[in-house]
Structure 1
Amino acid sequence: MTTTIAWRYFKSKKSTNAINIIAWISMTAIAIVTAALVIVLSVFNGFEDMVKTMYDDFYADIKIEPAKGKTINNTIILSNQLKQIKAIVNSESIVEERAIIIDEEDKSIISLKGVNPTYEHSSKINQYIYKGSFNVGTLNTPNIILGGGIEHSLQINVGQTITPLAIYLPNRFSKNPNNPMDAMISGNAFPIGSFSIQQEFDNKYAFTNKDFLSNLLSYDSNQCSYIEVFAAKNTNLNALKKEISSKIGQDFNVLTRYEQNQNLFSAMQTEKLIIFAVAGLILIIAAFNIISSLTMTVLEKQQDIAVMQSLGFTNSAITTIFLKLGVILAGLGGLIGFVLGSLVCIIQQKFHLIKLGGNSFLIDYFPVSMRVSDIIIVLAIIITVAFISGWLPSRRAAKSFYSLKS
Structure 2
Amino acid sequence: MSISLRIAWRYLFAKKRHNAINIISGISTAGVCVTSAALVCVLSVMNGFGSLVEQMFSAFDAELRIVPKAGKTFQTDTGDFARVKELPFVEVFGETIEETALVDFSQKQLPVQLKGVDDNFQQLTDIDSIITDGYFSVCDYYDDGINRTRSFERCVLGRGLAAQLGANAHFVSGLKIYAPKRTGKINLLRPDKSLNRTGAFIAGVFSVNQTKYDDNVMIVSLPLARELFEYGEHEVSAVELKLTEGTPVRAAKREISEILGGSYRVLDRYEQQEDFFHIFKVERALTILLLVFILLIACFNVIGSLSMLMIDKQADARILHNLGATLDEIRHIFLYEGWLISLLGAVIGIVLGVLLCLLQQELGLIKLGDGTNYVISAYPVQVQVLDLLLVFGIVLLLGFLAAWYPSKQINKTL
Q: Taking structure 2 as the reference length, what is the TM-score of the superposition?
A: 0.92
Moved over 6 A (4+): none
CA contact (8 A) 1:81 1:248 kept: no
Q: Which runs of 5+ in 2 are unaligned?
A: 141-149
Q: Taking structure 1 as the reference length, what is the TM-score of the superposition?
A: 0.94
- For the residue of structure 2 that corresponds to 1:250, the secondary structure is helix
Cα distance, 1:349 vs structure 2: 1.1
The correspondence for 2:155, drawn from 144, 151, 166, is 144
Percent identity for Structure 1 against Structure 2: 34
Cα distance, 1:238 vs structure 2: 2.7
Matches for 1:190-339 after TM superposition, within 5 Å: 190-200=201-211, 201-339=213-351
Distance change (3 Å), C-alpha of 1:146 and 1:77: farther
Distance change (3 Å), C-alpha of 1:165 and 1:401: closer
Cα distance, 1:26 vs structure 2: 1.5
Q: Note if 1:394 corresponds to 2:398.
A: no
CA contact (8 A) 1:107 1:153 kept: no
Q: Note if 1:20 corresponds to 2:22.
A: yes
Report the Cα distance in structure 2 between the residues aligned to 1:328 and 1:256, rounded to whole angstroms.
44
Task: Supply the AA of the counterpart residue of 1:154.
Answer: L
Distance change (3 Å), C-alpha of 1:302 and 1:69: closer
Report the Cα distance in structure 1 between the residues aligned to 2:285 and 2:265, rounded to whole angstroms.
30
Q: Note if 1:93 corresponds to 2:95.
A: yes
Q: RMSD of the TM alignment (CA)?
A: 1.8
Deviations 1:205-262 (A, max 9, x none): 1111111221122223211121111112343323222211221233322222222221
**Which residue does the alignment assign to 2:147?**
none
Q: Which runs of 5+ in 1 are unaligned?
A: none
Cα distance, 1:77 vs structure 2: 4.5
Report the Cα distance in structure 2 between the residues aligned to 1:359 and 1:17, rounded to whole angstroms.
52
Cα distance, 1:158 vs structure 2: 1.7
The correspondence for 2:12, drawn from 10, 13, 29, is 10
Report the Cα distance in structure 2 between the residues aligned to 1:245 and 1:141, rounded to whole angstroms.
38
CA contact (8 A) 1:149 1:199 kept: no
Report the Cα distance in structure 1 between the residues aligned to 2:268 and 2:29, rounded to whole angstroms.
45
The correspondence for 1:368, drawn from 378, 381, 400, is 381
Report the Cα distance in structure 1 between the residues aligned to 2:99 and 2:60, rounded to whole angstroms.
17
CA contact (8 A) 1:175 1:182 kept: no
Distance change (3 Å), C-alpha of 1:187 and 1:392: same
**Which residue does the alignment assign to 2:116?**
114
Cα distance, 1:14 vs structure 2: 2.4
CA contact (8 A) 1:79 1:91 kept: no
- For the residue of structure 1 that corresponds to 2:139, the secondary structure is coil
Task: Supply the AA of the counterpart residue of 2:361.
Answer: Q
**Which residue does the alignment assign to 2:167?**
156
Report the Cα distance in structure 1 between the residues aligned to 2:303 and 2:56, rounded to whole angstroms.
47
Deviations 1:262-288 (A, max 9, x none): 111111111111122111111111111
**Which residue does the alignment assign to 1:176?**
186
Name the stretch that deviates more: 136-145 or 197-206. 136-145
CA contact (8 A) 1:75 1:224 kept: no
Q: How many correspondences in the alignment?
A: 400
Report the Cα distance in structure 2 between the residues aligned to 1:334 and 1:269, rounded to whole angstroms.
24
The correspondence for 2:367, drawn from 355, 367, 371, is 355
Distance change (3 Å), C-alpha of 1:149 and 1:393: same
- For the residue of structure 1 that corresponds to 2:152, the secondary structure is coil
Task: Supply the AA of the counterpart residue of 2:390.
Answer: I
**Which residue does the alignment assign to 2:175?**
165
Cα distance, 1:170 vs structure 2: 1.8
Report the Cα distance in structure 2 between the residues aligned to 1:395 and 1:121, rounded to whole angstroms.
66
Task: Supply the AA of the counterpart residue of 1:384.
Answer: L
Deviations 1:174-225 (A, max 9, x none): 3116453133211110001111112321111111111122112222321112
